[in-house]
Structure 1
Amino acid sequence: MLHLDTDLVAIDKPAGLLVHPSRLDAHEAHTALEMLERQLGERLLPLHRLDKATSGVLLFARTAQAAREYGQAFEAGRIGKHYLALVRGWPPEAGEIDYPLARDPEQPSAGQPRVDALTRYRRLRCFEWPFRVDGRHASSRYSLVEVEPLTGRRHQIRRHFKYLAHPLVGDTTHGKGAHNRAVAQWLGVSRLWLHAARLELPGGLRIAAACGPEWAPLLG
């Protein structure tokens, strides 16, 4: 557990754990919500989502009033969300991705209404690893980036970096299978390389989750 007070509880969600029951994973019996409610002996209300494959800070409200207040803060963009991601290629040193996204990422985009989506990023490190994925090049390039989604659309980071032509490594939906497999073999870990590192809440509260040991080769 990362944080506990009268209104909020935050945990460091491991990759592979659902936040709450979902029709997309109807067979999955264990969720972060169910496990934490059992541990605390009370009903909790999820305040935001993390994809099943994403690790890091996950926040729940302990009361209906807290859920309303912090839910409104998330909706208004008053809660800072900071992620780390490994992406294919070397994007610019910093930038913003301002690209509207289809409302439902599980459905074909054609014909769907699009909603505003804005993501800010900063490149932290560049890697050139000595294995071939593209037949034209003897090595392959990747980058560690810090990402701040300024809106809260589903799969926003993953879809925005696909749009930028620098998809997240390990993303089986929006990424590149050949790169996913090559990096998994190189690092010895198969996962979506996306970690919710820090939340910054109104009033100055900051909740952070350290990266797991598999991130060590990327952090230096």
Structure 2
Amino acid sequence: MRAECSFGVLDECDDWIVVDKPAPLAVHPANGRTDEPTLLGGLQALLACDLADGSKLSILTRLDRETSGLVLVAKNRDAARHFSRQFEARRVLKQYLALVHGWPDLDRWREEGPILRAGEVEESAVWLRQKVDPSGRPCSTVFEVEGRVAIDGRHFAMVRCFPKTGRTHQIRVHLEAAGHPIVGDKIYGTDGRPYLEQIGPGLSKESVELLMLPRHALHASRLSVEWNGDDLVWDSPLPPDLARFIDTGSLIQGHGESAGN
């Protein structure tokens, strides 16, 4: 899956810009690479005049390269400080959509397992991998099942995710811990081999069949912040690649029980 530096602008003012990032576009250059397109590079080209007039870009909602959806970017230090205070006070509201393996028993539940880097407590071939562990940092995510779908006899669910904290890979880790890893995830719900293959010789036939999608099926769908006394809300629809996957099956609305908040 080749990355292209194409993204949509949803909203903009003199102080910030909100864009819709596709997968697998990286937000920043990774591992010192300068030969691949990035969201930052695209924004620098788009906002060249602003930058020439003294603007300083700060990407505030960073997404993994394979996660699509909403990204908030401050254009100056004052806006960056304003939004950073909201993040610190946990007043920024974020929602994600995730396509997961299996049918959750509950329509709504909360995962609160603490998270740390897996390599701190066990051997891990993937340095980035996180895991739930009692010695980890406090972490909380609420999940709501949007619908369940059967495709060729296999069960999948579309789950809306409400992260209450901002740990690395939080949603992916908590869904794996719940027994419902995200479709296409190369790190979680697998032994990590697909991830190592991707950064090495390329995905094997077995990994392609296992993953089912070229990227993990996670989308940042809603973002809400306060600006000048107003609550601003932006929404991004499910991208075509994930919508096509769902459309191949028969959607069944939630039928499980609720675990409350």
TM-score between both structures, scaled by the size of structure 1: 0.84
Q: In the superposition, relative to structure 1, how do residues 28 and 119 fare at CA in structure 2: closer, same or farther (>3 Å)?
A: farther
Q: Residue 219 of structure 2: which of 195, 204, 210 is its match?
A: 195
How much is the aligned-residue C-alpha RMSD, in angstroms?
2.2
Task: Say if 2:50 is the partner of 1:39.
Answer: no
Q: Which residue of 2 aligns with 1:59?
A: 72
Q: How many residues align?
A: 204
Matched residue, 2:3: none
Q: CA deviation at 1:3?
A: 1.0
Going from structure 1 to structure 2, the CA distance change for 1:28 and 1:155 (only over 3 Å counts) comes to farther
Structure 2 distance, partners of 1:183, 1:76, is 37
Change (3 A) 1:28 1:90: farther
Deviations 1:57-97 (A, max 9, x none): 01110110111110121122101101110011111111111
- Structure 1: 4+ residue segments shifted above 2 A: 25-29, 175-184, 214-220
Greater C-alpha radius of gyration: 2
Following superposition, the deviation at residue 213 of structure 1 comes to 1.8
Does the 8 Å contact 1:169/1:179 carry over to 2?
no
* Matched position secondary structure for 1:128: strand
The normalised TM-score by structure 2 is 0.72
- In the alignment, structure 1 residue 151 sits paired with structure 2 residue 165: yes
Distance 1:129 1:180, change over 3 A: farther
SS of 1:204's equivalent?
Answer: strand
Contact 1:54 1:196 in 2 (8 A): yes
Where does residue 134 of structure 1 map in the other structure? Answer: none
Q: Distance in 2 between matches of 1:77 and 1:30?
A: 31
CA 1:73–1:37: 2 relative to 1, 3 Å? same
Structure 1 SS opposite 2:121: coil
> Partner of 2:231 in structure 1?
204
Query: Aligned residue for 1:120?
Result: 142
Does 1:181 find its partner at 2:205?
Answer: no
Show the counterpart of 1:6. 14
Q: 1:179 to 1:82 in 2, by over 3 A?
A: farther
1:38 counterpart SS class? helix
> What letter is aligned with 1:64?
R
Distance 2:73 2:35 in 1: 20
CA contact (8 A) 1:75 1:152 kept: no
Go from structure 1 to structure 2 and tell me whether the alpha carbon gap of 1:53 and 1:205 turns closer, same or farther (over 3 Å shift). same
The alignment status of 1:87 with 2:100, answered yes or no, reads yes
Q: Distance in 1 between matches of 2:112 and 2:143?
A: 11
Seq. identity, % = 33
Give 1:8 shift. 1.1
d(CA) in 1 for partners of 2:208 and 2:99?
11
Deviation at residue 204 of structure 1 after TM alignment: 1.3
Gapped regions of structure 1 (runs ≥ 5): 131-138
Contact 1:169 1:180 in 2 (8 A): no
Q: Residues 183 and 18 (structure 1 numbering): CA distance in 2 closer, same or farther, change over 3 Å? A: closer
Q: In 2, distance between residues paired with 1:78 and 1:181?
A: 40
Is the aligned partner of 1:216 residue 2:238? no
Separation in structure 1 between the aligned mates of residue 33 and residue 68 of structure 2, nearest angstrom? 20
CA distance in 2, matches of 1:94, 1:75: 26
Asked if the contact 2:185–2:211 (Cα under 8 Å) also holds between the matched residues in 1, the reply is: no
Asked if structure 2 preserves the Cα contact closer than 8 Å seen for 1:19 and 1:50, the reply is yes
Q: Mind listing any 5+ residue stretches in structure 2 that lack a counterpart?
A: 1-8, 123-132, 195-205, 252-261
Output one character per residue of 1:22-45: Cα deviation in whole Å (capped at 9) or x when no partner: 33x736532101111111112311
